[in-house]
Structure 1
């Protein structure tokens, strides 16, 4: 069964195998851009990434200018890491144009098994939990499989920009039910 889990060093070997399988391919949603140079697939390299990712999940943490809070999650099937998914808490200018609220990747050997659709559905639910009433999800113009995954999850195509198809997906909460800054519902009682 496809699940989203918080990154955990106990799954180091599976994480390293997953990242390695992508090879030179871009790994969307993995948060690997936080370190420069090649990805260190050792346990120490993963622990460094875990420390780097920590503040991004904490809405109270100060982040570098231009960054947004983000939940980095691993897509798993049992104890196997089969991909990555990031849920960004808000959009900055670049994310609005190209990156979106949710980015995800499934390792090549586990594609075409329904994991991307299941993971995206779980990511949309996570976004609803953050109070987002809709999320932007993008894919490359020529990525027919990803476009189909987004459309299967209710994505409404808006337009294409800079080689990216842009879709909006409703999370199932109304704008009036979004939590306010203090966590209470904005809807009248």
Structure 2
């Protein structure tokens, strides 16, 4: 069974399946789409480098470094909504140590399973979890709640708008969707 609403598929608006049937990624997987949001986009799904079942983490870290360079990427730090654990405390600093650069400047904390958090005040949830609050604050308070069960493009549009400098990265997107959002108000 493959995940039908995997986050990478939703972002890329892809009907192809990006992920395997297991919920944990064990190696870097790269998918590219030409001209999404007006420019080519590449999504790199990385393993949790610190997960006990990931073998040869240094190999995956080196692979990730090829695709994720300062100034050339947006990092989505994916955390399951409603389930922040002690293992995630310090994840931002550990990732920066592994990758060798300050990713927090281009990171958005992407909380998943928004469908399970319908009646939750997201900012209160973040504020009540000191470790999560630390991560979000160190990422410039950039966070987004993603509904894994929805294929609605609006959640992707909202996510893109949270990317630092999205207007310069995706000028055609900004021209089209910023204009549309002004007209719909």
Same fold (TM over 0.5): no
**More strand per residue:** 1
The TM-score with structure 1 as length reference comes to 0.36
**More helix per residue:** 2
The TM-score with structure 2 as length reference comes to 0.36
